[in-house]
Structure 1
Amino acid sequence: MSIRSPKKLIEVALPLDDINVASAREKSIRHGHPSTLHLWWARRPLAAARAVIFAQMVNDPGGERGYYAGKTKAQADAEREELFQIMRDLVLWENTNNEEVLGRARAAIAKSWRETCALNPGKPGFDPEVLPAFHDPFAGGGALPLEAQRLGLQSYASDLNPVAVTINKAMIEIPPKFAGRAPVGPEIEAERGTKKGTRNAFEDWSGARGLAEDVRRYGAWMREQAQQRIGHLYPTIRITPELIAANAFEEGADGQKELKNGGLAGLQPGQELTVIAWLWARTVKSPNPAFSHVDVPLASSFILSSKAGKEAYVHPVMEGDRYRFEVRTGLPPESAQDGTKLGRGANFRCLMSNTPIEPAYIKAEGTAGRIGIKLMAIVAEGARNRVYLAPTPEHESAAQQAQRGWKPETTLPDDPRNFWTPAYGLTTYGDLFTPRQLMALNTFSDLVPEAITRIRADALATGIPDDGRGLDAGGNGATAYAQAVGVYLGIALSRLTDICNALCRWESSKTQVRNLFGRQSIPMMWDFAENNVFAEAAGDYGVSLGNMVRALLELPAVGDGLAIQSDAQSQTVSANKVISTDPPYYDNIGYADLSDFFYVWLRRSLRPIFPNLYATLAVPKAEELIATPYRHGSKEKAEIFFLDGMTAAMHNLAAQAHSAFPVTIYYAFKQSDTKDEGSSTHSTGWETFLEAVLRAGFTLTGTWPMRTELGNRMIGSGTNALASSIVLVCRQRDASAETISRREFQRQLREHLPEALETMIGGTSGQSPIAPVDLAQAAIGPGMAIYSQYAGVLNQDGTPMRVHDALVLINREITEYLTPDAGSFDADTLFCNSWFEQYGWAEGPFGEADVLARGKGTSVQGVAQAGIADSGAGKVRLLRWADYQAGWDPKLDARNPVWEATHHLIRALNTQGEAAAGALLAAMPDKAEPIRQLAYHLYTLCERKKWAEDARAYNELITAWHAVLEASREQGPRGEQLGFDA
């Protein structure tokens, strides 16, 4: 049955800058963000997810019902601008739950759906009153299913990974199920009569507010119970006269005592300070025979605080064949910075003898189980500052009293690229915790089922009936509700493990404990910080729970949601649904291996609730679609596994997706895997992924670079600047598609790509130009659209053209289009371009410059007179934009090449802003188009040569282009001559 499917907005245009700015800003937002429910390693920004799904579902006004169907281009552009404005409002963090904005978005989606149904009357799946449901088969951290639910769609999330499924249940499945219910737990005793509780913050319990309040109340009960049971393991530290005396020393002939540890100044004997953290160093026996009985520290630093005016450090004191640690304040000696470290990796020195301790020795000691730990310092909370104290016997004893109880015995993977601890004897996930941490986590874990029993009893007492079914069986009564609250209590425990383990570092610049997963790996930590789980600071169960509650309050809790465990290659959930997905990225992240760190704790707490989800001892790994060499035996076998598996998964999507909508697929570049070929950017993972998508039967109708990095990080020193993600827009390829020759493919590229590039670098109504940093990736879309619409492109020898070769040809056309020699540039600009390509801003010989200038139809003297080069003493060099003189007036300059105009514009933009640059452009409107094209070309050239700072100037000019054009219009009639849409 033939389906008429109008082009969607995402297949034509997007307000990309607005989406990228909002996505980058979102990275700095923590309170209330769903990411604070539980860590996930690759979570798309909510702004990008919301924008993509919206644009994927609304019809483009210039499509089947657009201007060639009775509307003018101006009318279609005006309608598109309305959709753009909805998107600009939609992506703002402040509007995440703004019902007025969301209402406009939902209305636009419904309107487009009714129009689409009108084109397909009576066909199955085209009921104008019922929106298609949404599905993400690689749901991961859940941003996409969550935003689909926020936009009014019934949302389905599936993933092979139980941790991901649990996160999605917590975000899209549980909150709507129990929306609008008042809390059942008793108010917290200490808060009665105050406004501290959530109860006093709302007039009703709509949405997930009641659920969130019960999570808070029962979490507080759990913390209280845990402190009663194990609080003695986390003692305060008492300031005693002996402690103060031990930190003093004689100074000068007058016998006046001064504090070695100035942090004790002002403290009085008898004061009790709460410990924030205990700082430990791992130890090995000294390899020096004279000290072979001494456990010497492996400390990467002795610095406790590097804050200006608040410096503190550990000072080792040697006493014969023994040593102890003191804490001192003030500027530390240089030696304190590196502790006992001698170089990268496991290279240390013996504190007693300075004998080098080599990695092989430490690995042997670790494998034999002989690596120990020694307390270096205690960090306490003073009246206004951190207080750093030397170890005390009482605190070492408190740590040793802990009976660790249950310990996760799941083995860490043999993956030395991302898991470094097994080489040093820490081979199981349980080995990554101290006995005290294990006892604390066990205690909180044991309290989850106790809390569930209490919640059920309280729910029954408040009149909630019990249907006898648990949460996993679809229950809705007291038992299911108690388990629902228990899920969040268990997730909070899992979340706590990220900062309650023996691989957390002490960050001296911020004087706080930092969590383990600062990146997607488990590195070895030689000196680590053990937090106090009752300190009411980071690492406290209550603090962790509080952050989760804030996120829970912001969830939409509307409609229906379902999260299930399913393999993307075989799932059938996608049938007739809108699909947007964020699949694994080749070999970037081993989600399953990393997830085991959390899985072992979640399973202990949540297996009674989700017996099938947590049936296995570890996260399933055999089917995980990543190219992991250690798992498959070689890089080649891993790539084949990924390509075959991803092809099957993509084919499954292509076969099931709702025919009225394109499928959107995110792909993230891995910076280290890229290499230059001309001006193009290649990645083995990217090409393999594209190959899988096209082999699955998809054709690309667009590619959009989505950035999540802040603007000042977009161009790294000496590296390609890559988008954080590329969104591929895909449709199912026509079954009758034919094959074409390589020559015909090249002809079509030459014919169609320039028009697409012109749209990208020129922008359309409401859409800013694609920044140069994003152009190579965005231009893949129209190029691959040509390549992918055919069943195959055949080389001259009859073999199929691979994706890699197609990308090379596409990038070659992009370079050709942007090359000044291909345009109508003046002779001076052509000379400067060629000279710049060879010498950059450096000097070169006059003779060579003279020959080049004559060949380009100009002279070195003429270029110097134009004010864009210096010539003297047999040398020639181009002037940087910063060398150009302020006050330049193009109307008074008789020789004004495009090269000069471009760099004067950059100078004005960088020194005076967009208004000044606009005023300058208004005086030379005929130069606007050549300036823009030259900026794109020079960015591409600089990026290829890894001239990062130079590339930045050209990228920023294009990024600000529409603002500069708008400013030029405000200058009067001269600006109006430009004739460009801003």
Structure 2
Amino acid sequence: MIPLKTPKKLIEVALPLDAINVAAAREKSIRHGHPSTLHLWWARRPLAAARAVIFAQMVNDPGYERHLGRGANKEKAAIERERLFKIIEDLVQWENTNNEDVLARAREEIWKSWRETCALNKGHPQAAELFNPDKLPAFHDPFAGGGALPLEAQRLGLESYASDLNPVAVTINKAMIEIPPRFAGRKPVGPRIPGDKQGKLAEDWSGAKGLAEDVRRYGAWMRAEAEKRIGHLYPKIEVTTEMVAERPDLKPLLGQKLTVIAWLWARTVKSPNPAFSHAEVPLASTFVLFSKVGKEAYVEPVVAGDSYRFTVKVGGLSDAATAGTKAAGRGANFQCLLSGTPISGDYIKAEGQAGRMGARLMAIVAEGLRGRVYLTPPEEQERTARQARPPWKPSGDVPARLTGGTCVPYGLKEWGDLFTPRQLVALTTFSDLVQEAIEKCRQDALAAGLADDGTGLDASGCGATAYAQAVSIYLAFAISKVANIGSTIASWMNDRGAFRETFARQAIPMVWDFAESNPFADAGGSLGTAIDKGAMSVRDFPRTGKGLALQADAQSQEISKNKLVSTDPPYYDNIGYADLSDFFYVWLRKSLKPIFPGLYATLAVPKAEELVATPYRHGSKEKAEAFFLDGMTRAIHNLVELAHPGFPVTIYYAFKQAETKGEAGTSSTGWETFLEAVSRAGFAISGTWPMRTEGAGRMIGQGNNALASSIILVCRKRDADAATVSRREFIRELNAVLPEALMDMTRGGINSPVAPVDLSQAIIGPGMAIFSQYAAVLEADGKPMSVRTALQLINRFLAEDDFDHDTQFCLHWFETQGWATGKYGEADVLARAKGTSVAGLTEAGVVESGKGDLRLLKWAEMPRDWNPETDTRVPVWEALHQMIRALNQDGETAAGSLLARMPARAEPIRALAYRLYTLCERKGWAEDARAYNELITAWSGVERGASEAGHVGSQASLDI
């Protein structure tokens, strides 16, 4: 078979990582107009990273002729890369998301590279099928999720396909890439919103602006209609004379009826004290309403015998206010407000399971003259809330086990249990109104002259019926946003005075004091706000280009055939997408099943085939891991066989690094395993790029470390007749290739030097390109070399291979950070590259990690009672700094006694001390250099001390 001529792409050689990382991190704080405001999806890729990766995946590297065996001018190639980097640097800026000049430059480069590739393969037998110079290949993401990758492919001018097993993800992708171009350039058909200033402005209905405006108009109609029907359940609060007498600060508001923004509730159970067993007492984790200095507000319970009421105070906070009724310690431990009797977690669970958990209104947040005001709740406010009688509530089980916590043990077992009756009434009313809005929009579209053949959106219709259904998708999404803040898992952030949504993290944990939003207020959690934010997103979606979103299993789909592929697979066991998305699915299904009967046919999101390693679903952790790896290997092999051969495939890897212990010691279940799966599936890996795609503030769990980076794997199909080589031949090839690659990365030979913290990850790309191009690399005993061993050999080129993996990490981290605190995400990337993990380093006792940060422990922080003979994980780094601690605190004899208990580490310890002394001297860290110098100077005395304590051979070495 005649081989294809496939030029290396820019992403296989060089990237301006710093510019991409800065833009991706910044994007996390952008809300207005960002697709993330359309509908929540977990771990959505930043648009900046997606755009940069797809562009660099399609554009030929300027030195590609050299890669094809031709001569090439390196200086000219470097200048060309600099030009391409400038395009990427402009492309990733949020302000340029829809800048047609910037996008046109990028598209022009994509077309230029495509035509070059087509010309190279002009005489190939498959040229007509694969290399049409007049048509770009289409794009496909088989794990489309939140849709960032398909959206940016479409923005770059590609026909875009998105597929996912999850119906919620499919619907999101339809709303982003399929619907807007279909109805681009149309004027809105709905009647103007009364009093809306928009009608007085110059009208521009280009792109999806007309569609976005109709979302606003029918959303406003839906809100007004809902308020007519259920507005009485959401009364305003009047500031009375009695309230002012108790709170003089309310005097300017006397007589005014204020719009309520939130009702703040505490869950209740019957007191376990027999004398008060008839009373429902509050489970409040805090009584603080607003903690900003000078504007503090809190709840003060007033107890009268066997009853109590809540009153809101302003001024300085007390410890009692901060504590609420929460008892000291972790877990669901409270105290009875009336008797002080402890209320255990087991008691609360039993009451919840029996359906005896209630709620009591603690405070009201209202809109005042100059901001929000916190008020004591009148009795009629709680009575009104309890009048709600929902005609329907969603069924289906809340996941009983979730990473990050679940509310099920406390009796909130079904989806309907997560909402108050008033919340259920509101959400049901809104959902029912979606169908009415469809018919109203259809009639208005016909009146505006839009033809209609009765074909719906699901059948690719584009007439009045399909258009009305399209508008309704975004209205249904607004209801999802209301539900996300309008459940009893949503709470009040007293440091910011705002709602914390249900999915503040990827879990459904129990919340004791919850915040009920007013869907008719102009604030967070309201229907109007949700509609406006969604419409802003719709307005900026691409106006041209075909898009298609489908439901398909990545393991068996054939959509990828001859398409460019970039994808972000599920995160091992980090996020249970199917379990979590049922929260939205039950409401979307109520609104959208008539539009997408096939997509919403089932009562819940499909779960059995979902590629997530959930032990409770598969019976054990081992079975879950096997299911995930086998399924992911099949899905990746599918891409090996189907993806367009003219381009590499890019895969985002963002699993948290983890470790398992077995007879063979400690090994990684994350990065190395995934590389192994990719290689086993038939890909050769030609690049690995670390990207800061999550931003510093993303929350995986309250107080937990957030994964702040993704690794982009760049893959090509391995040759069918790939050779098998020996370990010696593999090392010889590494020696020939990696020094130049390392020089390019560190000295700017590719124009944009790789940051030190990213170097260990980036060098894996050219190293794995060598390893994975072969069918196998054989060890001396004839067995195939593992990815783990290959990574160890690759890491030698960073001159840290003399030491164990933990020490390699510490060396590199110390060189870039010293003893300062750094970001967890950067540490996570570096740890993977070094064959270890942050969890393992913490276990080893060499780092302290938490709340998104990490730092090395200094010798003075090492424990005095440390025993290397009983410690199961002793990095040379730890041994060295324990030696320095012993020397400084107790003298040479104590240090010698410690050395006598780990004789095999004598030479590695001394070698590391020399290495660190030289490093500190070079850095000008005199104090640190002195500590290492003192150990080296005292080494003879330390050895004498060791000899007296027990034999140690000064020439002993450790097999590492």
* Bucket of the pairwise TM-score, normalised by the shorter protein: 0.7 to 0.9
Q: 1:162 to 1:815 in 2, by over 3 A?
A: farther
Q: 1:775 to 1:854 in 2, by over 3 A?
A: closer
Q: Deviations over 1:78-129 (max 9, x none)?
A: 1111111111111111111111110010000000000000011151221101
| SS of corresponding position for 1:377 | strand
For structure 1, the residue ranges without an aligned partner over 5 or more in a row are: 248-260, 823-828, 881-982
Instruction: Return the offset for 1:853.
Output: 10
Instruction: Return the offset for 1:668.
Output: 0.3
Partner in structure 2 of residue 785 of structure 1:
769
Output the amino acid matched with 1:402: A
Partner in structure 2 of residue 241 of structure 1:
241
CA distance in 1, matches of 2:37, 2:697: 25
Which one of 867, 880, 884 corresponds to residue 838 of structure 1? Answer: 880
Partner in structure 2 of residue 349 of structure 1:
335
Partner in structure 2 of residue 433 of structure 1:
419
Compare 45-54 and 80-89 and name the one that shifted more.
Answer: 80-89
Instruction: Return the offset for 1:390.
Output: 1.6
CA distance in 2, matches of 1:233, 1:857: 74
Which one of 554, 569, 576 corresponds to residue 562 of structure 2? Answer: 576
Instruction: Return the offset for 1:757.
Output: 2.6
Q: 1:857 to 1:304 in 2, by over 3 A?
A: closer
Q: Is the 8 A contact 1:864 1:870 kept in 2?
A: no
Q: 1:676 to 1:153 in 2, by over 3 A?
A: farther
Partner in structure 1 of residue 390 of structure 2:
404
Which one of 714, 719, 722 corresponds to residue 734 of structure 1? Answer: 719
| SS of corresponding position for 1:786 | helix
Instruction: Return the offset for 1:683.
Output: 4.3
Tell me whether 1:159 sits opposite 2:164 in the alignment. Answer: yes
CA distance in 2, matches of 1:177, 1:681: 54
Partner in structure 2 of residue 216 of structure 1:
216
Partner in structure 2 of residue 294 of structure 1:
279
Tell me whether 1:542 sits opposite 2:543 in the alignment. Answer: no
Q: Is the 8 A contact 1:722 1:774 kept in 2?
A: no
Partner in structure 1 of residue 689 of structure 2:
704
Which one of 271, 276, 290 corresponds to residue 256 of structure 2? Answer: 271
Instruction: Return the offset for 1:267.
Output: 2.5
Give runs of aligned pairs for residues 669-708 of structure 1, distance below 5 A. 669-670=655-656, 673=658, 683-708=668-693
Give runs of aligned pairs for residues 297-376 of structure 1, distance below 5 A. 297-342=282-327, 343-376=329-362
Tell me whether 1:495 sits opposite 2:481 in the alignment. Answer: yes
Instruction: Return the offset for 1:238.
Output: 1.2
Which one of 642, 656, 668 corresponds to residue 642 of structure 2? Answer: 656
Q: Deviations over 1:504-556 (max 9, x none)?
A: 11111111222111111111001100011111100110111101111111111
Partner in structure 2 of residue 190 of structure 1:
195
Q: Is the 8 A contact 2:880 2:912 kept in 1?
A: no
Instruction: Return the offset for 1:751.
Output: 4.3
CA distance in 1, matches of 2:225, 2:618: 47
CA distance in 2, matches of 1:60, 1:493: 46
Partner in structure 1 of residue 784 of structure 2:
800
Q: Is the 8 A contact 1:414 1:630 kept in 2?
A: no
CA distance in 2, matches of 1:837, 1:354: 50
Q: Deviations over 1:634-678 (max 9, x none)?
A: 01000110111111110111101111000000010315x36999x
Q: Is the 8 A contact 1:158 1:566 kept in 2?
A: yes
Q: 1:167 to 1:69 in 2, by over 3 A?
A: same
Partner in structure 2 of residue 28 of structure 1:
29
Q: Is the 8 A contact 2:14 2:750 kept in 1?
A: no
CA distance in 1, matches of 2:65, 2:674: 31
CA distance in 2, matches of 1:331, 1:879: 53
| SS of corresponding position for 2:670 | helix
Q: Deviations over 1:572-611 (max 9, x none)?
A: 1101000000010111110000000000011100111111
Q: Is the 8 A contact 1:133 1:153 kept in 2?
A: yes
Q: Is the 8 A contact 1:448 1:486 kept in 2?
A: yes
Instruction: Return the offset for 1:813.
Output: 4.8
TM-score scaled by length of structure 1 = 0.81
Output the amino acid matched with 1:219: G
Instruction: Return the offset for 1:420.
Output: 1.6
Partner in structure 1 of residue 42 of structure 2:
41
CA distance in 2, matches of 1:417, 1:710: 21
Compare 849-858 and 505-514 and name the one that shifted more.
Answer: 849-858
Q: Is the 8 A contact 1:47 1:92 kept in 2?
A: yes
Output the amino acid matched with 2:313: R
Give runs of aligned pairs for residues 618-629 of structure 1, distance below 5 A. 618-629=604-615
| SS of corresponding position for 1:64 | helix
Q: Is the 8 A contact 1:749 1:786 kept in 2?
A: yes
CA distance in 2, matches of 1:240, 1:721: 47
Give runs of aligned pairs for residues 847-886 of structure 1, distance below 5 A. 869=926, 876-877=930-931
Output the amino acid matched with 1:295: E
Instruction: Return the offset for 1:808.
Output: 3.8
Q: 1:353 to 1:812 in 2, by over 3 A?
A: farther
Q: 1:750 to 1:569 in 2, by over 3 A?
A: same
Partner in structure 2 of residue 121 of structure 1:
122
Output the amino acid matched with 1:31: H
Which one of 370, 392, 395 corresponds to residue 381 of structure 2? Answer: 395
Q: 1:696 to 1:285 in 2, by over 3 A?
A: same
Partner in structure 1 of residue 849 of structure 2:
none
Instruction: Return the offset for 1:812.
Output: 4.9
Q: Is the 8 A contact 2:490 2:511 kept in 1?
A: yes
Q: Is the 8 A contact 2:399 2:406 kept in 1?
A: no
Give runs of aligned pairs for residues 593-604 of structure 1, distance below 5 A. 593-604=579-590
| SS of corresponding position for 2:115 | helix
| SS of corresponding position for 1:472 | helix
Partner in structure 1 of residue 551 of structure 2:
565
CA distance in 2, matches of 1:440, 1:44: 32
Output the amino acid matched with 1:214: D
Q: Is the 8 A contact 1:705 1:723 kept in 2?
A: no
Output the amino acid matched with 2:381: H
For structure 2, the residue ranges without an aligned partner over 5 or more in a row are: 809-814, 820-875, 897-906, 935-960
Q: Count matched residues.
A: 842
Q: 1:835 to 1:877 in 2, by over 3 A?
A: farther
Q: Is the 8 A contact 2:265 2:362 kept in 1?
A: yes
Q: Deviations over 1:300-327 (max 9, x none)?
A: 0000110111111111111011111111
Tell me whether 1:810 sits opposite 2:815 in the alignment. Answer: no
| SS of corresponding position for 1:211 | helix
Partner in structure 2 of residue 939 of structure 1:
none
Q: 1:754 to 1:676 in 2, by over 3 A?
A: farther
Partner in structure 1 of residue 954 of structure 2:
none
CA distance in 2, matches of 1:571, 1:856: 55
Output the amino acid matched with 1:838: L
RMSD: 3.4
Instruction: Return the offset for 1:219.
Output: 0.3
Q: Is the 8 A contact 2:150 2:162 kept in 1?
A: yes
TM-score scaled by length of structure 2 = 0.83
Q: Is the 8 A contact 2:180 2:208 kept in 1?
A: yes
Tell me whether 1:771 sits opposite 2:825 in the alignment. Answer: no
Output the amino acid matched with 1:281: A
Q: Deviations over 1:690-747 (max 9, x none)?
A: 2221111001000000103557999x9x999975100000000011112233444344
Q: 1:319 to 1:109 in 2, by over 3 A?
A: same
**Identical aligned residues as a percent:** 64
Output the amino acid matched with 2:766: P
Q: Deviations over 1:800-859 (max 9, x none)?
A: 33333433443455343799x99xxxxxx9xx999999349979559799999999999x
Partner in structure 1 of residue 872 of structure 2:
none
Compare 218-227 and 401-410 and name the one that shifted more.
Answer: 401-410
Partner in structure 2 of residue 464 of structure 1:
450
Instruction: Return the offset for 1:864.
Output: 10
Output the amino acid matched with 1:352: L
Instruction: Return the offset for 1:71.
Output: 4.1
CA distance in 2, matches of 1:59, 1:854: 45
Give runs of aligned pairs for residues 955-974 of structure 1, distance below 5 A. none
CA distance in 2, matches of 1:400, 1:294: 18
Instruction: Return the offset for 1:379.
Output: 1.2
Output the amino acid matched with 2:615: P
Output the amino acid matched with 1:55: A
| SS of corresponding position for 1:190 | coil
Instruction: Return the offset for 1:188.
Output: 1.1
CA distance in 2, matches of 1:765, 1:244: 70
